[in-house]
A = this chain, B = another copy of it.
Amino acid sequence: MFSTLSPGALGLSLDHTTSIDLAAQHGFGGVDPDLEFFRALGSRAAVSEHADAVRERGLEWGMAGLPVPLDAPAGEFRDALVELPGSLDLLRSAGVTRVGTWLRPMHDELDHRQNWRLHVGRLSLVAELLADSGLRIGLEYIGPKTFWSTERFPFIHTLREARELIAETGATNVGLILDSYHWYTAGESAEDLEGLTDADIVSVDINDARADRERDEQQDLDRRLPYDTGVIDLEGFMGAVHAAGYTGPVKVEPFMKSLAEQPVDEVLGDISARLDRAVAAA
């Protein structure tokens, strides 16, 4: 596995070329692809050339966003399918292999079973469309109870449910985005991660939680940097990720606005070191 600079996940407004420079400078192993940047390059050849340059700087691609909104109204979902081939073309030209999205853990209209059918149906279709481009889809379940309990029908908010959803799609190119924050807030332990293999994991996020809140009071958008408070058992989490033989990107997604106010080199040096610690741990 390798550390990845994902400016969006850090809440930093860095353009793609700056991100690449900073990722290389601060010793990250990878950087997130930027579909809009690829689109602006104007041709497959230019995208491919750009990707070569990134690779030459020792950086691997992290994960792009899934360019289809899984739970949008049918018309919007259809429109995204119309646009999809162009995006896939660019991602394939760049050699990107991972895209991801999160699963909204509640709904005000669709009950658990209706929402399940919606996700199985849409996800199966999109997975089949992406398979030909060599793309894997990562799904992130969202753990905080302060989030999933806010509408009439709670939905997938645990690892077990996410794995069953993936199994039901029958797709071999769909896996998990494992985030220590969701694993912790979902009340899960290292034991729950047993049996996972590299094929089951598309991306890994590590974050810590506030020390002054109980698990069920934690907020999705108010986290801490990994190894900060020690609330989350990152040793147990990363131990299981290592045991799975995971080979993909690891990033931080703390939702801390304060990061954007600090000197960027200071922030990235710190993040990179924390990720190195996680990647090295065994």
A residues sitting closer than 8 Å to B (CB atoms) are: 73-75, 77-78, 81-82, 84, 111-114, 116-118, 120-122, 124-125, 128-129, 132, 145, 149, 152-154, 158, 160-161, 164, 167-170, 186-187
Contact = CB atoms under 8 A, between A and B. Distances in A.
Contact of A78 (B84, B113, B114, B122): B84
11 contacts: A78-B84, A78-B125, A78-B129, A111-B158, A111-B161, A113-B116, A114-B170, A117-B170, A118-B124, A120-B121, A125-B125
Nearest to A132: B75
B129 A74 contact: yes
State the majority secondary structure of interface residues on A. helix
A26 to B, nearest CB: 39
- Most chain B CB atoms below 10 A, which of A116, A117, A132: A117
A245 to B, nearest CB: 16
Given A81-B82, A82-B82, A161 B113 contact: yes
Contacts of A111: 158, 160-161
Nearest to A188: B152
A187 B128 contact: no
A78 B164 CA distance: 25
